[in-house]
Amino acid sequence: MTTTPTDSTDAAAADRALKAKHRAMWASGDYPAVAAELIPTLGAELVGHCRISPGQRVLDVGAGTGNAAIPAAQAGAVVTASDLTPELFDVGRRNAATAGVELDWVQADAEALPFSDGEFDAVISCLGAMFAPHHHTTADELLRVCRPGGTVGMLNWTPEGFIGGLFKAMGPYAPPPPPGAQPPPLWGSQEHVRELFGTGVSTVDTTRQHVVFAGGEPAEFREYWKRNYGPTISVYRFNEHDPQRVAALDQDFVDFLTGWNHGGQYEAEYLLIAARTSE
């Protein structure tokens, strides 16, 4: 099939609209609260897993408020924190100042990173790049900007874990995904990651871990997600003009949380990845 200039223009416009939608989604609610209250230690865990060391040039993709970028800077690396949603950077800069480190903050799309080939010794992402809709494009970009023999490290929610279950519970109420998009938790599958990276890496080290959310009773925790988490807010907004669907979503959400509730705590599984790029 021949691609015409009109086709290319339409595709570019659609991509811009999609990315604007994603930016608005993550700017809604209070993701800084989610990062600080539910996953405060995961960025440092990823940095340790990737053995980030002094003097390394490190790019954090989908950095948010700096959960991984700041620990990387504390390890002595020269860090660039990139994210599609620059609305998160003000909190990130304050967090960095409190931690006593400096880093560059750059608005960037994980599917079209504005950096040179091989510019970084390590490219990391803690629950960030996994939410870019086109997985192969994202994987190619992570590999492209990492030098040969460098490290691409990620921390991603698994399909079988709590967040994978959350997306499945919300799925029947969510708008149709854009063409070619894949579910974010697929990045938590070892097989999927190895397929995405392919010959671009020489080794892939993965391990499954979990974090425990102290969320309280299911109805209480549901309101937390509705108030703070962009993807949940987006699904509720999509249904806000249909009270019956909102009520059904509320009930399905509580049913999902009830199945994961252990005395007000919820165990969420994630996959740690450290891949060495091919030389």
Task: Give the tens place of pLDDT for each residue, 97-135.
Answer: 999 999 999 999 999 999 999 999 999 999 999 999 999
Domain, as residue range, for 47: 5-158+177-210+269-277
> In the chain, how many domains are there?
1
**Residue from 136, 77, 71, 88 nearest 110 by CA:** 136
Domain assignment present for 186: yes
**Using an 8 Å Cβ cutoff, are 80 and 54 in contact?**
no
Domain assignment present for 215: no
β-pairing, 201-214 with 146-157? unpaired
In the numeric block, which tokens belong to residue 259? 């199945």
- CATH code of the domain containing 120: 3.40.50.150
Domain assignment present for 38: yes
Domain assignment present for 243: no
pLDDT tens track for 22-37 = 999 999 999 999 999 9
Domain assignment present for 13: yes
265: phi > 0 → left, psi -120 to 50 → alpha, else beta; which? beta
Domain assignment present for 237: no
The arrangement of strands across the sheet holding 265-277 comes to 104-107, 78-83, 57-61, 120-126, 146-157, 265-277, 201-214
At residue 58, φ and ψ (nearest 5 deg) are -120, 135
Domain assignment present for 168: no
Domain assignment present for 114: yes
pLDDT category at 1 given cuts 50, 70, 90 is very low
